[in-house]
Amino acid sequence: MTVGTPIRVEGGGTSPSTRAVSVGPRRRRRIRWTSAWLFMAPSLLILGVFVIYPIVVSFWYSLHDWTIGSDVQPFLGLGNYLALTRDPQFWNALVNTLELTVVSVAALVVLGLALAIALLRDSFITKAVRSAFFFPTVVSLTSIGLVWRFLLDPQLGLVAGISETLGLPAVDWLQSTALALPAVIFVDIWKNLGFVMIIMIGGLKGVPAERYEAGRLDGAGDWQLVRFITLPSIRPTLLFATLILTIQSLQLFDLVYVMTGGGPLFATDTLVTEVFREGFVNYRTGYASAISWVLFALIMLISLVQLRIFRYDDVD
């Protein structure tokens, strides 16, 4: 039995069922604002105090040479933003952040999809392999960073030990300015691959089998099935995965902080590690807020572009 929610309509009384609403002439629903606000108030208040207010205030900070607790907070206007354009460390962090994001998101989507296709069928083995890939996802980034830092240690680490056993030289993965960022990106991919794989499997399982049957009847090959049926069908999944991964990568902090601290020589410095350093080590709150707002604008811009590229339309 289905019970429709009684809806109060103008003229008194309630309709006997929801069906009644769609039948007669269109009537204005009276929205009970008071109750709505009552239900929304707690979360609105929490959002307002802990999210919206700090965001607005951080913009105000970014317009000042703000130091927490200082008697005077000189107003700079857009001075902090202009200083950013001349700051080589900011540009270095921006380039590192973009490099990290582009490489890791692209690799994760491609590898995640490939893995999902390979492990799509349900069997004991595929379930076990999926669990193995998913396991790093549930471990905190800090723990993963510490473990990998130890593994990659050129003197005492397992990776160096294996290399030497194979007759290869030990590599200074995290001490080399050329290799540190690729090493961090690798660990980031390793950590998130299982998560992307699970999302992709979910998307792939939602594609109706008839589409593939129809495709095959029309003479499509394997690649054509993937290109013209699978990829368009999982477009919402791809959008979700890339959007989440992009935002996550642009905001990456814990892994970098634990593995390299942004070093060596700022080679792995990201925008968020720079925000941390300026805000909490150098106490330049205004400058750190300006970097945060640039990051916010960057995330907005990239997200809008992604939403445009992967836009979902009814034809799909």
The count of residues interacting with another protein (CB under 8 A) is 33
State yes or no: residue 281 binds another protein (CB under 8 A). yes
- Closer of 44 and 168 to another protein (Cβ): 44
- Closer of 45 and 132 to another protein (Cβ): 45
Strand partners, 14: 8
Place of tokens 């929490």: 46
What is the contact mask toward another protein in residues 244 to 263, using x (rule: CB under 8 A)?
-----------------x-x
State yes or no: residue 89 binds another protein (CB under 8 A). yes
Q: What are phi and psi of 89, to 5 degrees?
A: -70, -35
State yes or no: residue 165 binds another protein (CB under 8 A). no
Subset of residues 52 to 81 that bind another protein, contact rule: CB under 8 A: 67-71
State yes or no: residue 274 binds another protein (CB under 8 A). no
* Exposure string for 275-308, b = 16+ CB within 10 A, e = fewer: bbbbbeeeebbbbbbbbbbbbeebbeebeeebee
Q: Is 66 helix (H, G, I), strand (E, B) or coil?
A: coil
Angle, alpha carbons 231-232-234 (nearest 5°): 65
Strand runs (DSSP E) across 122-254, as ranges? Answer: none
Q: Which of 2, 34, 85, 165 binds another protein (CB under 8 A)?
A: 34
What is the contact mask toward another protein in residues 131 to 150, using x (rule: CB under 8 A)?
--------------------
Token pair in block for residue 34: 């008071």
d(CA 215, CA 310): 23
Question: Minimal distance in Å, beta carbon 20 to another protein?
Answer: 29
Per CB under 8 A, residues contacting another protein are 34, 37-38, 41-42, 44-46, 49, 67-71, 89, 153-156, 172, 175-177, 261, 263-266, 277, 280-283
